[in-house]
């Protein structure tokens, strides 16, 4: 194997001063809620808001020492793209980034802003591989692979060094798996320092690529997922042997659970995470009995989430928790009705988020109307109290969409 603990230590030393030694914190509220000790390595606060800065920086450093005038190329859904673009600019190297056609607009625009030549090609990273390899040969560009590169893996492994500088007595580390570069580097470090530690990988149940190889399964691998950063159909040729040797198990999580975790991380810990970044914590929450009373660390591996999607996730979580509901109120179309409704909602502790006055429904008499209101309250019981109060005021009320799905 062309990578080991000593090489990761060396990479960590070379990265010192070029990347951020990110905060390592205890998630107090989540730990209390799920009867465990959850520690988080906040790579969402890394340069370019992702752990990818580490591997990209180290690989480009090594490349520029060997061949400083040769341009570089990579393929990425976003985080590795931004990291490569950023450090290519820092080390004065030209960069070409191939991104999937469905990559989030925010990630594409940030990559361009960092000075990279961006080409949109294919729907997934796997679909872009042949194009990238052919272009690299044609233009004589050095490929900085997102995960299947020993220098990249060494750079990601520096996270493990930093974790064990903060705490030695961990029982488990839970790490999201895309192509496997992150978990490969961390697991080599963790098992060297503490051979008894348990390492769990986490994948989206829509992309169980490493899970299939690890457990000799053949689950379908495709779909649109909030965890686009780990939506990889095939684990790396270099990373999977490391995964097979060092990790103990792989856990699958679904998109709804990941969305709930993104919301919980913000509400309870004030941490902004993208889908892939929240996958590890999702696995801990969804398998709380497995991690009960243990000291568990997970990596918030990225914070690059589209603001519109993020707002939607937070609102959907409010709805699932019963704190947000859309109701339809039948009224007599006369002055003072809106005031009467708003007063009834306010005195029961509710807040009106949106309100629509509907007169044109075909089943509504001309002297009547309907009000559609999105209301927010402390909990589901409060929503029920608001509805009861409106009914006591003589209004017809029904919930028309509780979950906003």
Residue range 45-64, pLDDT digits in tens: 999 999 999 999 999 999 98
Q: Are both 60 and 14 inside the same structural domain?
A: no
Q: What is the CATH number of the domain that holds 101?
A: 3.40.50.1100
Parent domain of 39: 5-50+150-316
Rg (the chain; Cα; Å): 25
Residue range 202-215, pLDDT digits in tens: 999 999 999 999 99
Cα 311 from Cα 363, distance rounded (Å): 34
Cα 189 from Cα 157, distance rounded (Å): 7
Contacts of 334 (CB under 8 A, 6+ apart): none
Q: Are both 241 and 364 inside the same structural domain?
A: no
- From 143, 167, 199, the end of a domain falls on 143
Q: What is the CATH number of the domain that holds 382?
A: 3.30.70.260
Cα 224 from Cα 229, distance rounded (Å): 11
Q: Are both 67 and 188 inside the same structural domain?
A: no
Residue range 69-111, pLDDT digits in tens: 899 999 987 899 999 999 999 999 999 999 888 777 777 888 9
pLDDT for the residue 405:
43
Rounded-to-10 torsion of CA 77, 83, 88, 91: -170
Q: Are both 264 and 346 inside the same structural domain?
A: no
Q: How far apart are the first and last CA of the chain?
A: 48
Q: Are both 290 and 201 inside the same structural domain?
A: yes
DSSP 8-state class, residue 207: -
Cα 245 from Cα 333, distance rounded (Å): 71
Total structural domains within the chain: 3
Q: Are both 208 and 332 inside the same structural domain?
A: no
Count Cβ atoms below 10 Å from residue 159 Cβ, excluding itself.
Answer: 29
pLDDT-wise least confident of 2-16, 26-40, 382-396: 382-396
Q: Are both 109 and 124 inside the same structural domain?
A: yes
- From 262, 285, 316, the end of a domain falls on 316
Cα 217 from Cα 228, distance rounded (Å): 22
Question: 179 vs 209, 227, 237, 373, CA distance in Å?
Answer: 9, 13, 9, 45
Q: Are both 251 and 393 inside the same structural domain?
A: no
Cα 190 from Cα 24, distance rounded (Å): 16
pLDDT for the residue 317:
82
**Consecutive H or E run containing 253:** strand 249-253
The DSSP bridge pattern shows strands 324-332 and 368-376 to be: antiparallel
Q: Are both 210 and 240 inside the same structural domain?
A: yes
- From 121, 143, 165, the end of a domain falls on 143
Q: Which residue has the tokens 């509907």?
A: 358
Most trustworthy range by pLDDT among 37-41, 349-353, 399-403: 37-41
**Helix 337-347 × helix 380-392 angle, to 10°:** 140
Q: What's the predicted TM-score (pTM) here? A: 0.86
Q: What is the largest CA-CA distance in the chain?
A: 81
Residue range 28-40, pLDDT digits in tens: 999 999 999 999 9
Q: Are both 159 and 74 inside the same structural domain?
A: no
375: helix, strand or coil: strand
Q: Which residue has the tokens 């003072």?
A: 336
The larger pLDDT score, comparing residue 76 to residue 287, is at 287
On whether the CB atoms of residues 206 and 221 are closer than 8 A, the answer is yes
Mean pLDDT for 253-258 is 97
The DSSP bridge pattern shows strands 351-358 and 368-376 to be: antiparallel
Q: Are both 100 and 131 inside the same structural domain?
A: yes
Contacts of 139 (CB under 8 A, 6+ apart): 71, 73, 96
Q: Are both 136 and 276 inside the same structural domain?
A: no
Q: Which tokens go with 98?
A: 């191939």
């Amino acid at each position: 194997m062309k990578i080991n603990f000593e090489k990761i230590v060396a990479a960590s030393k070379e990265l010192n001063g070029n990347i951020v030694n990110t905060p390592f914190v205890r998630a107090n509220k989540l730990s209390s809620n799920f009867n465990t000790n959850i520690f988080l390595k906040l790579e969402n606060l890394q340069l370019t808001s992702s752990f990818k800065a580490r591997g990209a920086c180290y690989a480009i450093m090594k490349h520029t020492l060997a061949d400083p005038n040769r341009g570089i190329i990579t393929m990425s859904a976003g985080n590795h793209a931004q990291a490569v673009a950023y450090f290519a600019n820092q080390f004065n190297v030209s960069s070409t980034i191939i991104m999937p056609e469905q990559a989030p607009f925010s990630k594409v625009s940030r990559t361009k802003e960092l000075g990279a030549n961006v080409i949109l090609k294919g729907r997934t990273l796997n679909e872009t591989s042949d194009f990238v390899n052919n272009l690299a040969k044609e233009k004589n560009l050095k490929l900085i692979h997102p995960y299947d590169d020993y220098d990249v893996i060494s750079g990601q492994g520096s996270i493990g060094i930093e974790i064990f500088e903060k705490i030695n007595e961990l029982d488990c580390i839970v790490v999201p798996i895309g192509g496997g570069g992150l978990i490969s580097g961390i697991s080599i470090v963790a098992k060297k320092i503490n051979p008894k530690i348990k390492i769990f990988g986490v994948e989206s149940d829509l992309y169980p690529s490493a899970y299939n190889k690890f457990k000799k399964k053949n689950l379908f691998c495709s779909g649109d997922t909030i965890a686009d950063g780990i939506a990889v159909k095939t684990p790396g040729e270099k990373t999977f042997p490391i995964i097979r040797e060092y990790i103990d198990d792989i856990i699958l999580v679904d998109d709804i659970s990941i969305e709930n975790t993104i919301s919980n991380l913000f509400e309870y810990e004030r941490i902004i995470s993208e889908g892939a970044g929240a996958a590890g914590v999702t696995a801990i929450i969804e398998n709380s009995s497995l991690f009960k009373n243990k000291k568990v660390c997970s990596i918030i591996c990225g914070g690059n989430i589209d603001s519109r999607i993020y707002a939607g996730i937070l609102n959907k979580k409010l709805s699932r928790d019963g704190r947000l509901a859309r109701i339809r109120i039948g009224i007599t179309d006369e002055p003072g009705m809106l005031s009467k409704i708003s007063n009834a909602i306010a005195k029961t502790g509710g807040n009106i988020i949106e309100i629509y006055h509907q007169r044109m429904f075909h089943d509504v008499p001309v002297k009547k109307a309907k009000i559609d209101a999105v209301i927010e309250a402390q909990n589901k019981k409060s929503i029920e109290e608001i509805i009861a109060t409106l009914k006591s005021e003589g209004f017809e009320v029904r919930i028309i969409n509780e979950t906003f799905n």
